[in-house]
């Protein structure tokens, strides 16, 4: 059985609402933001069955806006690489 809950995560510095989607199954919980499809948290059971977050994420939208590093970012392997030394494609 899967349950999806939608709630306000916060507002950006520009005043835009950011929504958190919490997707729960008996085995895991995923928290996804509509701020660039960011994976904010993923709780999975440890060896004793206790839920453990295995994603580095911020607790507030301000954390994502003020810290670089792209924590939880979804990255497309087909995105072009425009760096000067990009000569070998990913695939």
pLDDT higher than threshold 50 for residue 9: yes
Contact between 15 and 8 (Cβ < 8 Å) = no
CA–CA gap between residue 22 and residue 24 (Å, rounded): 6
The rounded distance, in Å, linking the Cα atoms of 21 and 90 is 31
Residue 21's CB is within 10 A of a number of other CB atoms, namely: 15
Q: How many residues does the chain have?
A: 91
Model confidence over 34-47: pLDDT tens digits? 998 899 999 999 99
Determine contact, residues 20/7, Cβ cutoff 8 Å.
Answer: yes
**For the segment 51-83, what is each residue's pLDDT rounded down to a tens digit?**
999 999 999 999 999 987 777 777 666 656 555
């Amino acid at each position: 059985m899967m349950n999806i809950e939608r709630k306000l995560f916060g507002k950006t510095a520009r005043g835009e609402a950011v929504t958190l989607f919490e997707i729960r199954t008996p085995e895991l919980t995923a928290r996804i933001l509509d701020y660039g499809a960011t994976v904010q948290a993923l709780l999975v059971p440890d060896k004793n069955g206790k839920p453990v977050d295995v994603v580095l994420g911020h607790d507030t939208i301000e954390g994502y806006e003020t810290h670089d590093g792209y924590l939880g970012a979804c990255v497309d392997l087909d995105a072009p690489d425009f760096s000067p030394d990009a000569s070998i494609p990913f695939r």
